[in-house]
Structure 1
Amino acid sequence: MSSLIPVLILLCSRTLEAFYGIISDCDEVFNYWEPLNLLTRLFGKQTWEYSPEYAIRSYAYLLPFTIFNKPLRIIAALLPSVQIPPYLQFYLVRLAIALSTASAEIHLANTLAYVSPDVSNWFLILQAVNPGMSHASISLLPSSFSMIFTLLATASIVNYLKYDRFILKIQNSINEKLRSLVKAKTPDYDESLKLLNHMYTESMIARKRHFTMAILSIVVGGLLGWPFCLALVIPFGLYVAFSLISRKSYSQLLTFGALGFAAILFISIVILQIDTLFYRETSFVPLNIVLYNVLYSDEKTGPNIFGTEPLTYYVHNLLLNFNLVLPLAVLGILSPVAFEKFNLKQIKTVQAPILLWCAIFFSQPHKEERFLYPVYPLVTLSASFFISQITQIFGKTYFFARAYTFLCKLVLFATISSVSVLRIVSLVSNYSSPLTVFRYLPASNSDVPENVCIGREWYHHPSSFFLHPNQRLRFVESGFRGMLPGDFVEPVSNSWAALFNATSAKPQGFNNENRYNPDLVIPFSECDYYVDLDMPVNPEMGEIQVFERAKTVGDWELLVCDKFLDTENSYGIDKILYIPDREITIFTERLDSLYKIAQDHPHVKKLLSWVQKRYILINSLLGPKYETLKKHPYAQKIANHQGIIYLQSLAGQLKHWIIKNASQLQIPQPAIEFFTNGQLQYHQLCLAKHK
């Protein structure tokens, strides 16, 4: 079992992230939160991916997240006087995802305790403070869903490898026992042999169970979540195949192959049936996703039309999300890390999916942060393997070895935790304003429709879960000239038949080439509420100035504003990490005032006087003895030893080399500017109501 403190830290971290974490990708909102709003509240924005003509998003994936709708409706019916905010369901779903992620992380950590308790605890701590996990663990994205099942699959793979090694040892013990019995010509069946046979049978059953769980987890995460995640099973599949073939266990290989095929077939049939009901035509969404992104991709359609990035994009992104953990993970992959109960081959089997995943996605022109979510925990796990090794390199026998281990752990924990927490706080403080602002939309008992309009900031909309039943999100003219979402046909009644009619309707005006459709925007005069940044507009693109310096212009009433980072004009370390200047100033001022008060206190003066007297006394007693000890023959012999003199000489040379090179070292000016002259610029994201 993992230690209680890391588990509690992880649970607190995930719970806080569910309520305060940012939405890092507009694809999460419009492709998942909006359709979920349709399934539960019967309205929402529709992207072209949900058009039956393309059908590359699965309703089967969203169905499990609708479970909170019924209890909330029952509570609303029982307590009509209590007004339940519409975004409550949004945060409940987020909390469920966060706690599911935490459960999977704890399950893997408990499994890793077999390898090393140190690895288990480091994994939990690094996961808890990881900036990337702060949004990956709460996202409604299929890549986050697949990440949860990757955690479960990895736990099953570790258990499989454990029992596989155990089975091999038992087989060797049985063979050795049989040879000794034959050699001794003993006719009786040894009791120890019975025990070994029983252990062998139980271990075979356990290994088969963990193989089934590993394959099932990958298949569910791949087919129900993101189909590309099926590639993560390849290293484990190759390990199983080669190990069974080398032992000539062909029947087991066929059994495992049949189990894998059965899992794929069963999950595929379930998904096919559900999505066919919603689209009202045969639609196997995982296949459609692969066809769209791989086989049918060209210059006009496919992922590349939404932008391409250089290879450095992922490197930069991983450094922001993992900081010091990333180089430690790389060292963990490159170094021959091994444990007493988990050998090098087994560790590399667990780490191999990282290399495979990076090879696939680093080579793609279209890059997005969420594409790496499925291997985020594996990066942390690789770093945990390496940290556990380097901190225990001298063992625990001697005092200096224990001191090294303690200091090494303390430095790593303090450094990684500090940088990671400052990064998470920076993300929340700089980018959470959309979630704050949309909560201030006023409720109305009227059934009169209200248009909540948004222009150039459309991709920061936190979802229709923040709109009241009579409110609808509308787009107005802005500088954006890509494909905007439309609206789902709203069901005429709260029934499955009406819902299927809505989801199977074929909307006009959608395309898969990211071409702008002017029919998806409305005239600005039809807006009842408006959300925008208080920054200059482009009138040539049809944009209208409503906010100026956090104040409204014209017939608009300002409801709320919240700061939002101006990424283009902000720079330096302050843009990446939250630098607590104000908190440090307040703390030092309080500390200084407390020191001044304490300095004049009679009890403090008395204590300082007592300490000073004791210091003088100890110095008078030990000083002469120290001088005598220095002149002792044995002390002189040690001081004049060739090894000591050589070390002193080396230390002097090293000091001289450092002083000489430090004076010649020239730090690039951009690096100095980055760390010393950082600056943050903010806009205000504002919500206004038409008078």
Structure 2
Amino acid sequence: MPSSASGPNLRNKNGTLAKDHLSGTTSTTTSTIEASSKSNTATTTATATDTNLKKRNVSTTNGNGHANGKPNGILSERKATLSGYDDEMNSSSDSIAEPRFAMRGLENWPYCPSFSVAFKALFLVRALGATYSNISDCDEVFNFWEPMHYLQYGTGLETWEYSPLYAIRSWAYILVHAFPAEIARLAMSANRLQVFFILRIILGAISAHCEATLYRAVVEEVDPRIGRYLLLALLSSAGTWIASNAFLPSTFAMYTTMLFFSQMLQTPGQHSGKRTFWAVFWVGLGGLLGWPFSAAVGLPFAIEELLIHSRDHSKKKTVRFRDWRMMRLVRLVTSAAVVLGLVLIPIIIVDHYYYKKFVVVPLNIVLYNVFGGDVGPDIFGTEPWWFYILNGLLNFNILFLAALLSFPALLITYFTIPDVLPNPTFSLGIKDPLMWFTLKLSPFYVWFAIFTAQPHKEERFLFVVYPLICFNAVLTLFMGQKIVQRVFDKFITRSKTSTIHKYAGGLVWVILIASAAVSLSRIIALHEHYNAPIEVYRKTFDLVKIPNHINIEGSDPTVISASSTPSSPPSTDSSSSVSAPPEIVRVCVGKEWYRFPSHYFLPEGARLGLIKSHFDGLLPGEFKESLGDEELPPMPMKPSAAKGKEHQPMRIDWRWSAERRPGTSFVPLQMNNENKEVQEHYITNDTRLTPSKQLLSLSKTPLDQCQYLIDLDYSGRETEDESNQDLIEPRYLQDKEHWEKLYCKKFLDTQVGAGRNRWVRAFWIPNNVVVALTRGQTKVWGDYCLARRKSI
């Protein structure tokens, strides 16, 4: 009866790696090995393999899905010199030198897309996500899009994290994203709305590259079938759709985690530190520039470096066993020190330039989140222990459950049918593959355990390990397939074995396609139910009119004013539009403040205005701006080297300089890190009124400082009596005397009708099924609208 087999990774005499990723059923053409000694077993296996290799001499120009003379673009060298392999098989243990490692013929090799094909497919999906996905977290807007808008255009909203008093956000991270955004603006003459979507597409391209790199690493280092499963999971999951284009440190850390894990999948070595350095580099870059806690995913790698001893296939002298751990430890510490210098020092320099003080932002983040005490992250909301389980099931459905079960599945497979495990453990020269697979599965478990234990939970915290969820899940499906095959092998005849194995392999694809269908339903629901804010603000960019508009898109009024001289004052001719300062137009929001997608969606000259809602926490303020009629403050003259002469120090006078953006170093007095409400951040009719009278005034009269208003009105709900009207959050859009609707989109009402059903609001379901599921109820929609005050 054919049995499942795994194949070794071979190294040629020149040190290059020739990989045979073998899992699944062995070829029926492989001859039966009946030699009794270990040496004869290894020699016979190698001879049979060499015969198969000679039969499949692939041309570099064939058109059967092979790339560059490599079947499916997988192998660097196919025809290996097996003499070194014979020696290793003779010296290995029984568990390695068994006939189950007989290598399958290349005619059964599964097709795996090349890196280029995988990248193109992933980029297509990520570009669609950049265009149509929602912004799932208001922190993405106020902590990252708004500061970048301030650097680019001189205006933006500021959160307490950017106050120099706290400094737990890095301007270096903002600059890394602002540079490609500015290049795109200049190269394509793009307005700010276009810049927003261009940057999202750039982030999607980076994500696609990292995902394709991870996919190829799994194909080449683990198993081609697992690689194919992983590619489909990455392409189709709702979680990666949400996370890949986000402007968040956790998304940046997700990129670096994929590149790090691609290195971790490779074989540990004694004579080369390349793998160690790049693994440490990607972990360090994600932790220092992105999110410090993402470095936790690197702990299993450090353990692996110190626990797994691998024999290098090279002519160099093998390191003595008692010395290899010390050598690995020194290499880890050296790599960490180098990465710390390469990454952290530039971050400190950039942050010092903008904050005007010495700060170590990664350290500040750790101190606040770990040792913050009563003013730590818990004051912004906590979630129950099952929050991430529910979130994982929403975004990955059955794949998340499979990821959680990956370690139990490994134990079952190892103790029942260890011969079906993928082949990388053979090349490590170790008896026990359990440790190798445990270390590869553990980064997800480490991250999940750490953040489940934290009271403060948010969906974006799990972004870092979204690709690892997919990896753990597909490995579970792979092992489950092998277990099913082996179970059926015991109860069916030999003639039906190949058919059962074929159907068992197809079962994995059925599960993956079903998971993709559920994820697609989730993606469609997010767009159909909750995409109205993005669509309305897109129209706002065109519908909001700015009087006395003089600046060109992307220009900086402080630069223009600095070029003027006192001897040439601005013209006072009333007929000249250039002499009149641009009027600030306020687009106001109340209860919908947290769905504001950033000032990139407002035309130049328009600003967001906040009006009071039931939210009683700290809302963002505005960055300090240099007015258009102000010049930069003069710099004191200093004595020159020449006696009796003075000179003025050089000033960095570029548009993003700290002098042009004084808000980066200005300490706002109203900010606090205790989530206490600040009344000065609201738009009011009369600042002399008490807060209670301001609320009453807001509920009865139009807002004089608001020319436009964006609000959500649930018109499908029952009309309340006038005596029960909400004075804090009135239904502004019903005030037709003062406001006229310019553009509206529907938004799902989750309090009435079918929207109260969690399945209906979380997934797209056909209307007839919705009616049956909710016993005759249908979806009720609210109106998400841009309105204009009639007096303008």
Scaled to the shorter chain, the TM-score interval is 0.7 to 0.9
1:378 lines up with 2:434 in the alignment: no
Q: What is the match of residue 355 of structure 1?
A: 445
1:242 and 1:409 map into 2 onto residues whose CA distance is 33
Query: Distance between the aligned counterparts of 2:778 and 2:383, measured in 1?
Result: 26
Separation of aligned partners in 2, 1:677 and 1:303? 43
Superimposed CA distance per residue, residues 597-647 of structure 1 (whole angstroms, 9 cap, x where no aligned partner): xxxxxxxxxxxxxxxxxxxxxxxxxxxxxxxxxxxxxxxxxxxxxxxxxxx
Pick from 423, 426, 444: which aligns with 1:340?
423
Q: Is the 8 A contact 2:162 2:169 kept in 1?
A: yes
Aligned residues of 1:574 and 1:679 also touching (Cα < 8 A): no
| 1:574 correspondence with 2:760 | yes
Unaligned runs of 5+ in 2: 1-73, 75-111, 310-319, 414-420, 426-432, 490-495, 550-581, 629-654, 685-702
* Native 8 Å contact 2:185 2:195 kept in 1: no
Matched, 1:229 2:294: yes
Q: Which residue of 2 aligns with 1:277?
A: 353
Counterpart of 1:150 in 2: which secondary structure? Answer: helix
Which of residues 342, 353, 367 in structure 2 aligns to 1:266? 342
The answer to whether 1:547 aligns with 2:654 is no
2:666 aligned partner: 505
In structure 2, the partner of 1:330 is 404
Secondary structure of residue in 1 paired with 2:373: coil
Alignment of 1:529 with 2:636, yes or no, is no
Q: Which amino acid aligns with 1:99?
A: A
In structure 2, the residue corresponding to 1:578 is in which secondary structure? coil
Q: Distance in 2 between matches of 1:421 and 1:401?
A: 30
Give yes or no for contact 2:586–2:706 (8 Å, CA) kept in 1: yes
Residue matched to 2:78: none
Greater shift, 12-21 or 215-224, is seen at: 12-21
By how many angstroms is 1:68 displaced?
3.8
Q: CA offsets per residue over residues 241-274 of structure 1, 9 Å max, x none? A: 2336965212342122111122123312111111
Residue in structure 1 matching 2:744, options 557, 561, 565: 561
Q: Which amino acid aligns with 1:571?
A: R
- Given candidates 424, 427, 430, the residue that maps to 2:523 is 424
Cα drift, residue 428 of structure 1:
1.1
Q: Is the Cα contact below 8 Å between 2:239 and 2:466 reproduced in 1?
A: yes
Q: How far is 1:555 from its partner?
A: 2.1
Contact 1:6 1:121 in 2 (8 A): no
Distance in 2 of aligned mates of 1:276 and 1:136? 30
CA contact (8 A) 2:151 2:661 kept: no
* Counterparts of 2:464 and 2:352, CA distance in 1: 27
1:368-402 CA distance string (max 9 Å, x none):
11111111111110011122233345389943134
Q: Distance in 2 between matches of 1:247 and 1:376?
A: 38
The correspondence for 2:127, drawn from 5, 11, 15, is: 15
Q: Secondary structure at the match of 1:448?
A: coil
Q: Specify the code of the residue in structure 1 equivalent to 2:354.
A: F
* Cα 1:677/1:279, change in 2 over 3 Å: farther
Per-residue deviation, 1:238: 1.4
User: SS of the counterpart of 2:192?
Assistant: coil
Contact 2:658 2:664 in 1 (8 A): no
Change in 2 beyond 3 A, CA 1:76/1:217 = closer
**Mapping of residues 483-502 of structure 1, within 5 Å:** 483-491=618-626, 494-502=655-663
Aligned-pair CA distance for 1:490: 2.0
Matched, 1:411 2:501: no
What is the aligned counterpart of 1:210 among 255, 269, 275? Answer: 275
Conserved 8 A contact 2:181-2:198: no
Matches within 5 A, 1:154-303: 154-159=261-266, 162-164=267-269, 204-205=271-272, 208-243=273-308, 247-249=322-324, 250-298=326-374, 301-303=375-377
- Aligned residue identity for 1:318: G
| In 2: Cα distance, 1:44 partner to 1:318 partner | 33
1:388 aligned residue: 478
Q: Distance in 2 between matches of 1:232 and 1:70?
A: 33
State the SS of the aligned residue for 2:514.
helix
Match of 1:689 in 2: 788
Q: Which moved more, 1:367-376 or 1:568-577?
A: 568-577
Contact 1:6 1:125 in 2 (8 A): no
5+ residue gaps, structure 1, are 78-83, 168-203, 586-671
Structure 2: distance between partners of 1:101 and 1:678? 41
Is the contact between residue 68 and residue 89 of structure 1 (CA under 8 Å) also seen in structure 2?
A: no
In the alignment, does 2:491 pair up with 1:308? Answer: no
Could you tell me how far apart the structure 2 residues matched to 1:150 and 1:678 are?
A: 45
Structure 2 CA distance, aligned partners of 1:32 and 1:269?
Answer: 22
More deviation in 112-121 or 441-450?
441-450
1:411 and 1:675, CA in 2 relative to 1: closer, same or farther beyond 3 A? farther
Amino acid at match of 1:257: V
In structure 2, the residue corresponding to 1:512 is in which secondary structure? Answer: coil
Question: In the alignment, what sits opposite 1:143?
Answer: 250
CA drift of 1:331 comes to 2.1
Q: 2:593 aligns with which of 458, 481, 488?
A: 458
CA gap of 1:288–1:273, structure 2 versus 1, over 3 A, is same
Letter matched to residue 469 of structure 1: E
What does 1:629-640 align with in structure 2 at a 5 Å threshold?
Answer: none
- Counterpart of 1:93, as a letter, is L
Q: Which moved more, 1:533-542 or 1:231-240?
A: 533-542
The Cα shift of 1:341 comes to 2.1
Question: Kindly tell me: are residues 69 and 315 of structure 1, through their superposed partners in 2, closer, same or farther at Cα, counting changes over 3 Å?
Answer: closer
Where is the helix percentage greater, Structure 1 or Structure 2? 1
CA contact (8 A) 2:590 2:611 kept: yes
Aligned pair in 2 of structure 1 residues 690, 72: CA closer, same or farther (>3 Å)? Answer: farther
**Do the aligned residues in 2 keep the contact of 1:18 with 1:98 (CA within 8 Å)?**
yes
Q: TM-score, normalised by structure 2?
A: 0.66
What secondary structure, in the 3-state scheme, does the structure 2 residue paired with 1:238 have? helix
Residue 383 of structure 1 aligns with an amino acid whose one-letter code is A
- Distance in 1, matches of 2:204 and 2:732, equals 37
CA distance in 2, matches of 1:71, 1:220: 23
Contact 2:369 2:376 in 1 (8 A): yes
Give the distance between the partners of 2:519 and 2:440, measured in 1 at CA.
Answer: 25
Partners of 2:149 and 2:162 in 1: CA distance: 14
Residues 69 and 232 of structure 1: is their aligned pair in 2 closer, same or farther, counting only changes over 3 Å? closer
- 2:184–2:198 contact (8 Å) kept in structure 1: no
Q: Quote the Cα distance in structure 2 between the aligned partners of 1:408 and 1:227.
A: 40
TM-aligned CA distance change 1:678 to 1:102, over 3 Å: farther
C-alpha distance in structure 1 between counterparts of 2:386 and 2:777, whole Å? 23
Give the counterpart letter for 1:92 in structure 2: I
Q: Is the 8 A contact 1:571 1:674 kept in 2?
A: no
Aligned partner of residue 424 in structure 2, secondary structure: coil
- Aligned partner (choices 88, 94, 101) of residue 200 of structure 2: 94
Conservation of the 8 A alpha-carbon contact between 1:571 and 1:678: no
* C-alpha displacement of 1:503: 0.7
Structure 1: how far apart are the matches of 2:528 and 2:231?
25
Report % sequence identity.
33
By how many angstroms is 1:540 displaced?
Answer: 5.6
Give me the whole-angstrom Cα distance separating, in 2, the residues matched to 1:348 and 1:425: 36
**Structure 2 counterparts to residues 637-676 of structure 1, below 5 A:** none
SS in 2 for 1:563: strand
Q: Pairwise mapping of residues 599-614 of structure 1 onto structure 2 (< 5 A)? A: none
Distance 1:76 1:357, change over 3 A: closer
CA distance in 2, matches of 1:421, 1:304: 34
Write the letter of the residue equivalent to 2:323.
K
| Structure 1 vs Structure 2 CA RMSD | 2.5
